[in-house]
Chain A
Amino acid sequence: MTAPALLMSGVEVRFPGLGSPALAVPDLRIAAGAMVAVAGPSGSGKSTLVNVLTGLERPARGTVRWGGTDIAALSEGARDRWRGAHVGLVMQDFHLFPGLSALDNVLLPARMARAADRALVARAAELLAGMGLDRPRQRIETLSRGEMQRVAIARALLRRPGIIVADEPTASLDAATGELIAGLLIGLARDSGATLIVVTHDPALIQRLPRRIALARGSVVAADLAEAA
């Protein structure tokens, strides 16, 4: 899957009862295959930005164009399908499901989307093995946190998404493990050519990403996207 570029314009998200918009992005472009850190204090709109970028939330106004698709114009079901096919998500809390093996966890969303054929099952095993997890049948709750996040990354990469979005992927890990995971995430994204967007507070992780967007009070206050493009 080739990585799409992002073209966001006129996007505004408001929550009822709040005066100022949670997110207001008049214009934001991210090149295909770019690697971007999104930073900002809590409440600055980072989560809302992730939700809009991944189609989890539809902005009241504006367009969110990934490649040729404006996901802000898609129906809920179409956004589900689009997200399943194009976006790999990695989250701070892993969101792995206890009682299932590492392999079953990697495959679960794809199975629910009826996308898990034999090739995909084989790929899931390869991804786990590639990350040094050599017991894919092991119950997920018996793994260490670092191993859990690796399983979550494998799940995000399973369907070869063109976009990888990581929301504080290192925040619940110790420094050494965080660094390992950051390296793994960036390396895999680079190898696959996917566009990588990482929301993070972690200065070490921000340092490893060539570009960054700073958010404050729902707006982009600094973006050094152009210089490295």
Chain B
Amino acid sequence: MGRFIWADLRRIWPGALVMVVLVALAVALGTGVTLQERALRLGSARAASAFDLVIGAPGSETQLALSTVFLQAAALPLMPGEVLAELEADPRVAWAAPVGFGDYYGDIPLVGTTTRLVEEMVPAFAGGRMFVNHGEAVVGARVPLQIGARITPSHGAVSHGGAAHEDVEYHVVGRLQPTGTAWDRAILVPIRAVWAVHGMAGGHGHGHDAQPGHDDHDHAHVEPSAPLDESWHGAGTPGPPAVLVKPASIADAYKLRQEYRARPDTLAVFPAEVLTGLYGLMGDARQVLAAVAIGAQALVAVALVMVTVIHVGQRRRQVAALRAFGAPRGAIFVLVWSQMLVLLAAGIVLGHAAGWLAAVQLSRLVAARQGFELPVEWAAGDAGAFALLLGVGAVLAALPAFIAYRQPAVASLRG
């Protein structure tokens, strides 16, 4: 019987191929949406996991989270410089580190920060060492720069018309191991160097906007050999756009957030929580896409049922002959049913493979552009969805099989 099914499929292979491809495309659409949404959720959760609590100036919570976790370019307001010193002194804080944004090398963001943050966030150096003075930089795993490279940053991404800081040069001295986050695509430099570039070292940081459009470059002056100073107790500490805070305990995390939310001049967010809110939106989008995918699958199913019913009609003679030669009706049912199911199952399996491949390709694209990884993974629920599709296929295949089963044995065998 298997050989007969195979011989028959080979005879009608163009039609069979079209069927398999149609099913595969419809299934791939659904699988791709599911996998990609999951990858986005997993990937961004991983990217956010290093950022327990972020404190910034009042403004958009979402923007504060996106700018720190994904290094999304945006004009963040600056907060009072003394907040940093307060946080450092707070016993509920394990460590706190300022981050400063705004400069780019080409399209790669420069992030001003501290040695502590680099040590805490990145497992180890892939090569080289930490920056030790204001003229040095450390690059993330995905940054296409070699140790020893010398770079001149620009204010704003070059693709957005950023102006070069012509008198500033960083020397790349270290390369980090990958973390799977957007920070793999960043160049990390001492924050005081960033402040110096923007002429903010003098302690008039209050209410400053360090973003494009604000021209405070006139008195930019960086002394490359200036040693690092990572204590913030001086009264002249400029205000950073954001401070990453590692709370000493979970209870402390909530207390800190509450306290800094209550202040009029600061804002505190758990990036993971902000992202969860975004996932809610994303989940809605996924449901819309999933509905579209299911609609496409239903359309394909209806089309296939019509095609196979016609096909069974064209096989009337063959079925009648088999009956005449003594094949029982049940065997005819099994024959038509299993032939259809073979095609559907092939389409479903290929569709899953195609959906997975598409999601992997898309993730690669995002990783190359945004720097953070979107892990495409199967979950236990996918097996259920796979089984459900096969089950629906088995039921659909039963329709033409039943028609063949019901066909009278006496159909014209001549001519």
Contact = CB atoms under 8 A, between A and B. Distances in A.
Nearest to B332: A112
A103 to B, nearest CB: 11
B325 A109 contact: yes
B410 A89 contact: no
A113 B331 contact: yes
A43 interface: no
B3 A89 contact: no
Interface string A64-91: 0000000000001101110111010101
Contacts of A112: 1, 322, 327-328, 331-332, 335
Given A47-B414, A93-B413, A99-B11, A76 B1 contact: no
B263 interface: no
A186 interface: no
B414 A84 contact: no
B interface: dominant SS: helix
B322 A56 contact: no
A211 interface: no
B4 A108 contact: yes
B280 interface: no
Given A80-B329, A84-B326, A109-B325, A56 B410 contact: yes
B93 interface: no
Given A80-B329, A91-B413, A98 B11 contact: yes
A110 interface: yes
A47 B414 CA distance: 9
Interface string A97-130: 1111000100011111110000000000000000
Contacts of A83: 324, 326
Given A80-B327, A109-B325, A112-B1, A98 B413 contact: no
Given A80-B329, A80-B409, A100-B7, A54 B324 contact: yes
A51 interface: yes
Contacts, number: 91
A180 B317 CA distance: 27
B299 to A, nearest CB: 32
B229 interface: no
Given A80-B409, A91-B413, A104-B4, A113 B321 contact: no
B323 interface: yes
Contacts of B217: none
Given A80-B327, A159-B326, A51 B410 contact: yes
Nearest to B8: A99
B323 A80 contact: yes
B51 to A, nearest CB: 63
Contacts of B330: 77
A80 B318 contact: no
A57 interface: yes
B10 interface: yes
A100 B413 contact: no
Nearest to B3: A104
Contacts of A168: 414
**Closest 7 A/B residue pairs (Cβ):** A84-B326, A99-B7, A109-B325, A112-B327, A95-B321, A112-B331, A56-B410
Interface of A: 47, 51, 54, 56-57, 76-77, 79-81, 83-85, 87, 89, 91-93, 95, 97-100, 104, 108-114, 155-156, 159, 167-168
Given A97-B4, A97-B7, 7 more contacts: A77-B329, A80-B409, A84-B327, A87-B326, A98-B11, A110-B326, A112-B331
